[in-house]
Amino acid sequence: MAIVGSGPSGFYAVGDLLKDPDRKVEVDLYDRLPTPFGLVRAGVAPDHPKIKNVIKVYEKSAEDERFRFFGNVTIGEDIHHAELAERYHVILYTFGARVDRQMGIPGEDLPGSHSATDFVAWYNGHPDYCDREFDLDCERAVVIGNGNVAMDVARMLSVSREQIAKTDIADHALEALADNPIREVVILGRRGPAQAAYTNPEVLELEALTIADVNVDPEDAKLDPLSQKALDGGMLDKTRRRNVEIVADYAAKQERMRDKQITLRFLRSPVEILGSDRVEGIVVARNELHRDADGAIRSRQTTDRETIECGLVLRSIGYKGVPIEGVPFDEQHGTIPNNGGAVIDPATEKKIPGLYVAGWIKRGPSGVIGTNKRDAQETVGLILEDLAEGDLPERVDTDRDSTEAWLLERVPDLVTYEGWQRIDAAEKAAGEPDGRPRAKLARWDELLAAAKG
Ligand SMILES: Cc1cc2nc3c(=O)[nH]c(=O)nc-3n(C[C@H](O)[C@H](O)[C@H](O)COP(=O)(O)OP(=O)(O)OC[C@H]3O[C@@H](n4cnc5c(N)ncnc54)[C@H](O)[C@@H]3O)c2cc1C
Ligand SMILES: NC(=O)c1ccc[n+]([C@@H]2O[C@H](COP(=O)([O-])OP(=O)(O)OC[C@H]3O[C@@H](n4cnc5c(N)ncnc54)[C@H](OP(=O)(O)O)[C@@H]3O)[C@@H](O)[C@H]2O)c1
């Protein structure tokens, strides 16, 4: 079978499929990058090294003889879905959600306004982003959205050189981020402290892992009547209750002694980004909360406006999946329509034999690495049921030995798992003298040359 996308969902599916050593399955894992592990390599922040230890689990799965990795192959461009469907009984799509969502406000495309998606990929050494430029020469940056990605990017703007020098951050980003002149990072949440999307450790790390004080205006920390009622009525989960306490603690703090400041604002939505030839400020609306028909607490803008001067805007309002030609796609949600992981034809709602999905492209861009384990297990369960019932399509060509030659005709710089291991060894060796876990190769040519050895 073919799995497309070697992030957590792809690798958890591999692990599950190959768990039984006697199971007669062979798995080819494809990725458009020469490097595996998806957002564990290209998303997880450099100052979170422990989280990347999960890679050891994936490496264990890759040792199995029934496993092969084919990197530097973009499905939909180098190889088409229809071609995979000729060769593999099962295709499992796990290619994540790799683009940013837009806000649709004036000024969004001004120089100095970027998506967190791009910024994260740049500091993590994703080869598509190594030549991006982020002008950090300003006093204040504004981050829109208050999920955990917003916490990551706010933190990365507020660290000292020492705090990141020994990480696997891309070299170009280390030089740009260390000693950057930004004095304040303002994080805008469109709802209140009780609805913030970040989790407890991540909001605490804004201070714990940076050289910044975290500020909250006591007025901003106060809950609106709806949220207060939800808190009093025991309707907030543990994470949200603790988030409310953390914000109250930040608001009560008296000392502001550190080099930088991070300010958490709530009930604020961006309306317009200002500037003639680059970002100079952002107009934000004050919001109020209401309960909508399905019972959720949502924000709506009032007529109150204020302008925050700033030279950099990072919008961190979530990721979005992109379609692959020939595979059904739900444009609105940026996902592949499915029933528990079995892809369905949206017109008939009938299952498409042999086609499955897991991870962010199945359920949308939410959840931590571990969430993809359960998600992949659910899908693999369906695949195994269909296998047992003989419910998989016939394929024209299933000769495993011919695959690599076929791919090499189409992608001369194909990267196998051995190729990745050469990249891995080169990066680790380059990082070692400076006490870093690795010095990432961030350019396509460097990666492909290292893969060849
Ligand atoms: C910035 C950021 C930081 C995060 N930090 C953490 C954290 O610290 N802890 C935590 O638990 N979770 C974290 N997460 C969440 C976690 O990374 C995701 O839950 C997880 O990576 C989703 O897994 P996935 O396999 O669905 O997608 P991905 O990890 O995105 O993997 C998809 C893979 O598919 C490949 N691909 C895409 N298109 C194609 C194509 N056409 N052909 C071939 N291959 C393709 C990509 O190159 C990629 O390797 C973070 C997420 C982000 C965005
Ligand atoms: N350390 C970690 O564990 C870690 C690190 C990074 C990412 N992750 C995980 O990866 C997933 C994705 O994270 P994410 O931060 O990209 O997404 P997220 O958690 O969904 O947060 C998105 C944020 O954007 C806001 N938003 C959406 N549309 C907006 C708009 N039009 N205007 C203003 N604000 C808007 C949301 O507000 P509303 O809530 O009001 O919609 C929310 O605050 C999450 O599950 C996250 O936990 C984990």
Distance CA 371, CA 204 (A): 22
Q: Are 283 and 306 in contact (CB under 8 A)?
A: yes
- The dihedral over CA atoms of 284, 285, 286, 292, expressed in degrees to the nearest 10, equals -130
Centre of ligand 1 from the C-alpha of residue 10, in Å: 10
The reported pLDDT for the residue numbered 398 is: 64
Centre of ligand 1 from the C-alpha of residue 41, in Å: 8
Token pair 């029933």 in the structure block, residue: 339
- The dihedral over CA atoms of 155, 156, 162, 167, expressed in degrees to the nearest 10, equals 120
How far is CA 210 from each of CA 164, 203, 247, 299, rounded to the nearest angstrom? 10, 12, 17, 30
The reported pLDDT for the residue numbered 254 is: 81
Both structure tokens of 67: 């496993």
Distance CA 332, CA 358 (A): 18
Centre of ligand 1 from the C-alpha of residue 292, in Å: 32
Q: State the CATH architecture for 2-98+321-415.
A: 3-Layer(aba) Sandwich (3.40)
Q: Are 152 and 124 in contact (CB under 8 A)?
A: no
Determine the residue of 44, 72, 77, 420 to mutate for testing ligand 1's pocket, defined as the one with the most ligand atoms within 8 A of the Cβ atom.
44
The reported pLDDT for the residue numbered 66 is: 98
Tens digit of each residue's pLDDT, the chain (453 residues): 999 999 999 999 999 999 999 999 999 999 999 999 999 999 999 999 999 999 999 999 999 999 999 999 999 999 999 999 999 999 999 999 999 999 999 999 999 999 999 999 999 999 999 999 999 999 999 999 999 999 999 999 999 999 999 999 999 999 999 999 999 999 999 999 999 999 999 999 999 999 999 999 999 999 999 999 999 999 999 999 999 999 999 999 988 899 999 999 999 999 999 999 999 999 999 999 999 999 899 999 999 999 999 999 999 999 999 999 999 999 999 999 999 999 999 999 999 999 999 999 999 999 999 999 999 999 999 999 999 998 888 876 667 889 999 999 999 999 999 999 999 999 999 999 999 999 999 999 999 999 999
The reported pLDDT for the residue numbered 309 is: 98
Domain boundaries, the chain: 2-98+321-415, 100-315
Is the beta carbon of 328 within 6 A of some atom in ligand 1? no
Determine the residue of 39, 47, 79, 80 to mutate for testing ligand 1's pocket, defined as the one with the most ligand atoms within 8 A of the Cβ atom.
39
Determine the residue of 48, 151, 190 to mutate for testing ligand 2's pocket, defined as the one with the most ligand atoms within 8 A of the Cβ atom.
190
Could you please state the CATH topology (level 3) that the domain comprising 100-315 is classified under: FAD/NAD(P)-binding domain (3.50.50)
